[in-house]
């Protein structure tokens, strides 16, 4: 099976971006028009979500028809209304015997501090993202929900770095594919787990004779957190954070197993974001199962963590400098 290292390698999934380049915000949709079993696991302390209760195992609805990732903080949840309208026009949704209601969960990240805070993803942008959706590998870096994404904010936005949206996939045998799509907007630093080095994060700075952070380019958020400056910064810490994403597979999983895959995918987040799951983050991972091939949930979950980590790294490496913030690509050049 030929793959392109993207979540769209999972058959039946379409991905589309829409954005406002002036406001530096956007949204990304993952469409599963035939329906897919959904799950979710939320671990950050400051989430912004919509329709996530439907995915819990004790609830009636078992299949989703799309997922929306958006900037704009809670305002951006409105983008899901546009995705619902798009799917309703195509006759797709949960059949209530009166009307078909598309099930479209959403999660948002806070990007209002980098561009224009008065322009946010809305229903029109969500609809446009659906019109743009295709089975081609989605753009990475400064695209869609990743347009305004940043990382490393313990010392404020002025010392942060540009991040973005990333995707990846793996084939794990017996025809099974696992893919991920992640918008990386973390409070902490992004770490390459192969060598433990920081790829993007808070940058050290000098204030008069005082050097803040570790020696070198990066402050190292964990080191800063051990200092008086770090503890003071946390008291006024940036609320402009969260990592939101989707892990998908063509494995045949039930609702409980799909939720387990979402949970296990957080291991990939924890391998690449330091620190992860803080009270200043809203880390949320959705999971989708399109149900083509039999597979063991333990295997799917293990590789969900691997592919989620790779998607984070891909999103950071694809980011471009914007709004005065450097990016990993610019630093390495």
Domains of the chain, each with CATH number or no CATH: 7-332 (3.60.70.12)
Give the DSSP letter of residue 306: H
The neighbouring-strand residues paired with 252 are 294
CB 299 within 8 A of CB 41: no
The reported pLDDT for the residue numbered 206 is 75
* 3-class DSSP assignment, residue 284: strand
- Cβ-in-10-Å burial (0-12, 13-18, 19+) of 66 comes to buried
The reported pLDDT for the residue numbered 236 is 67
Instruction: Please give the Cα distance from 61 to 103 (Å, whole number).
Output: 8
CB 38 within 8 A of CB 286: yes
The reported pLDDT for the residue numbered 333 is 43
Q: Tokens 């078992």 correspond to what residue?
A: 62
The reported pLDDT for the residue numbered 239 is 64
Which residue ranges in the chain fall short of pLDDT 70?
1, 236-240, 329-333
Instruction: Please give the Cα distance from 273 to 244 (Å, whole number).
Output: 12
The reported pLDDT for the residue numbered 138 is 98
Global pTM reads 0.94
* 3-class DSSP assignment, residue 79: helix
């Amino acid at each position: 099976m030929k793959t392109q290292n993207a979540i769209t390698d999972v058959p039946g999934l379409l991905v589309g971006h829409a954005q406002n380049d002036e406001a530096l915000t956007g949204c990304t949709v993952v469409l599963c028009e035939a329906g897919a079993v959904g799950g979710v696991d939320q671990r950050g302390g400051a989430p912004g979500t919509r329709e996530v209760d439907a995915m819990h195992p004790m609830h009636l609805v078992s299949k989703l028809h799309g997922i929306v990732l958006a900037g704009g903080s809670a305002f951006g949840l409105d983008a899901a209304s546009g995705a619902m309208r798009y799917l309703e026009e195509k006759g797709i949704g949960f059949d209530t015997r009166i009307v078909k209601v598309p099930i479209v969960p959403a999660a948002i990240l806070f990007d209002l501090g980098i561009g224009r805070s008065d322009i946010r993803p809305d229903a029109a942008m969500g609809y446009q993202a659906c019109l743009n959706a295709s089975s081609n590998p989605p753009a990475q870096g400064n695209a869609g929900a990743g347009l305004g994404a940043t990382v490393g904010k313990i010392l404020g936005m002025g010392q942060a770095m540009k991040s973005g949206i990333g995707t990846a996939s793996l084939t794990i045998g017996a025809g099974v594919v696992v893919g991920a799509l992640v918008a990386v907007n973390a409070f902490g630093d992004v770490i390459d787990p192969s060598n433990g080095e920081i790829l993007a994060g808070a940058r050290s700075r000098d204030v008069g004779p005082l050097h803040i952070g570790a020696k070198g380019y990066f402050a190292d958020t964990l080191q800063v957190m051990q200092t008086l400056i770090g503890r003071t910064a946390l008291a006024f810490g940036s609320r402009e954070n969260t990592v939101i994403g989707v892990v998908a597979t063509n494995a045949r999983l039930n609702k409980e197993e799909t939720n387990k895959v979402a949970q296990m995918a957080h291991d990939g987040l924890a391998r690449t974001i330091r620190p992860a799951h803080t009270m200043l983050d809203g880390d949320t991972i959705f999971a989708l199962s399109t149900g083509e091939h039999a597979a063991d949930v333990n295997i799917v979950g293990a590789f969900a963590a691997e592919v989620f980590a790779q998607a984070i790294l891909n999103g950071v490496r694809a980011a471009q400098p914007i709004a005065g913030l450097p990016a990993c690509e610019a630093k390495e050049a």
